[in-house]
Amino acid sequence: MTVDNLDLQQELQPILVSVVTEYVQQQSQPEQNRFAFAYHITIQNQGSEPAKLLGRHWIIIDANQERKEVRGMGVIGKQPTIEAGASYQYTSGVVLKTPIGTMEGSYQLLDENGDPFNAPIEPFLLSTPNAVH
């Protein structure tokens, strides 16, 4: 599949990803440089055909510019099919060594014909309360 075809596939299968984050104080230990965050994801299929979520790729960067990449099958152990006009929600978490960081990445999906495409996850902020003004 060429880059042009992949771009076309993304236009034909518009997946919108939204994220809400929260600092999880009860699982954090700031004195030990352990800052836990939850992220609540909504994957909305705005296309006209179903899409099966196969995998994910995350790029996680903390305030020290320490970069970690995570790739895996599915999300929280599942590979859901998201029907046209429907959405899928899940919650997961990450632990950083700093009170601020970012995440971004993509989901790998299959369209109705079995053709793969990616849905980007735009960068989002992970921050303890009052760390960013």
What's the pLDDT score for residue 63? 97
Model confidence, pTM: 0.86
Which segments of the chain are extended strands (E)? 15-23, 35-45, 51-62, 67-73, 81-82, 87-96, 100-110, 116-127
What's the pLDDT score for residue 14? 86
Spatial distance between the Cα atoms of 103 and 67, rounded to a whole number of angstroms: 10
Could you tell me the strand order of the sheet in which 15-23 lies? 15-23, 35-45, 87-96
Domains, the chain, ordered by start: 3-126 (2.60.40.1470)
Tens digit of pLDDT at every position of the chain (133 positions): 344 444 444 444 489 999 999 999 999 999 999 999 999 999 999 999 999 999 999 999 999 999 999 999 999 999 999 999 999 999 999 999 999 999 999 999 999 999 999 999 999 999 999 876 5
Amino acid letter, 69: E
Amino acid letter, 25: Q
Report yes or no: 43 and 53 within 8 Å, Cβ to Cβ.
yes
What's the pLDDT score for residue 91? 97
CA separation, residue 49 to residues 86, 95, 111, 114, 116 (Å): 10, 36, 7, 12, 13
